[in-house]
Amino acid sequence: METRFLHLTDLHLSHPDLADPHLHSDTHLNLVEMVRRIRDMSPQPDFVVISGDLTNQGDVASYQLLAEILNGIAPPVFLTLGNHDKRENFRQVFRHLPGLLADLSAPCFQSTHLGGLKVIALDTSLPGRVGGGIGEAQFAALTAELTADVGIAKLLVMHHPPLIDVSALRWESLDQKQTEELAKRLAGHHIVGILSGHIHINRVIHWHNIPVIISNGLHATIDPTATSGMQIEEGTGYASCVYRPSGLDCTFVPLLPRRAILGHIDTSVLRSFR
C-alpha cells in the first residue's frame, strides 16, 4: 500500500493589504499557483503537510486568507507553526484542527491519522525568537502519541530541523540538548520521516536512521555555497512524497519562477525505451 502526500513549507503568506516590505517574492501568487497545481494532480495526494511559517507577520488577516486559499483543494491539510507565526492569531482562524490543542498561548501540538500514517506535529516556534525549541509538555505528549499506536508508522512535522552540524548558526535548528532528547524519545519507534523547513533549501539528512526532509518552500531560496552572509535567490518549490513499506520517497519539485521548456518526449516514446 502506498501513501502519497505533499510537503509544503515556509509560505510566508502576507495579506495584500499589509503591503509587506519584508517579502522576497509574491507569496500570495505562489500559494495560489500551488493550489492550482494540487487541484490538477491525478491521482490526488492523500494529504498535504505544511511545516510552518504559514504567514510572514502572524496576523489574523493573513491566516484568514490562507484558510480561504486552502479551501480550494480536496485533500486534508495538516499545519504546524514556524517562527514567523503567532499562536493566538493562528488559533482564531484554525479552531478545528485535529489532535491536541491547549490554551491559546500553548504550543500547537497535534496528532492525527492521515493516509495510513500517524502524523504528529511538534510546534517548535518560540515567541520572539528565530530558533526553535520543544518544551517538556510537548515531549510528554509526543511520547504518549508514539506509544498509543505501536503498530502504525509515524510521520513527524516540525518547522525547525534537528541539529546536525554543531558549527551551524544557533537559530537554524533545535539546540543540541533538545535534539538529543528528541532522538531518545524517537528511538525504537517506527518513524518514517521528519518534515521540516525554516532554512529555505532542499536538503535530505539521514539522522539516527530517520530521513529528515527539508524543502525550500514557497517564499525564496538561498545559495548554500555562499561564503559571506546569506544570499537569497529566486526559487520556490515543494516535495512530492510517497510512503511505501520499503521507506519514504520524496521528489523536490520546482514551482516558480517557471523554467524554460527545452523539449518534450511523448509518453508513448518513453514507454518504448529498453
Domain residue spans of the chain: 3-272
The answer to whether the beta carbons of residues 139 and 147 sit under 8 Å apart is: no
Q: What is the pLDDT of residues 206-235, one digit of tens each?
A: 999 999 999 999 999 999 998 888 999 999
- pLDDT at position 239 over 70: yes
Please state whether the predicted TM-score (pTM) of the whole model is above 0.85.
Answer: yes
pLDDT at 234: 95
User: What's the mean pLDDT when you consider all of the chain?
Assistant: 94
Task: Tally Cβ neighbours within 10 Å of residue 189.
Answer: 16
Q: With cut-offs at 50, 70 and 90, classify the pLDDT of residue 98.
A: low
The domain covering 3-272 belongs, at the CATH homologous superfamily level, to: Metallo-dependent phosphatases (3.60.21.10)
* Cα distances (Å, whole numbers) of residue 147 to 116, 138, 142, 189, 267: 17, 14, 9, 8, 46
Q: What is the pLDDT of residues 106-153, one digit of tens each?
A: 899 999 999 999 999 999 999 999 999 999 999 999 999 999 988 899
Smallest CA-to-CA distance from 26 within 14, 34, 18, 17 is with 14
The answer to whether the beta carbons of residues 94 and 67 sit under 8 Å apart is: yes
C-alpha cell, 179 = 535534539
Q: Which residues of 131-147 are buried (b: 16+ CB within 10 A; e: fewer)?
A: bbbbbeebbebbeebbe
Q: With cut-offs at 50, 70 and 90, classify the pLDDT of residue 100.
A: low
Task: Tell the residue number behind the cell numbers 492569531, with chain if given.
Answer: 89
pLDDT at 144: 94
The amino acid present at 6, given as its one-letter code, is L
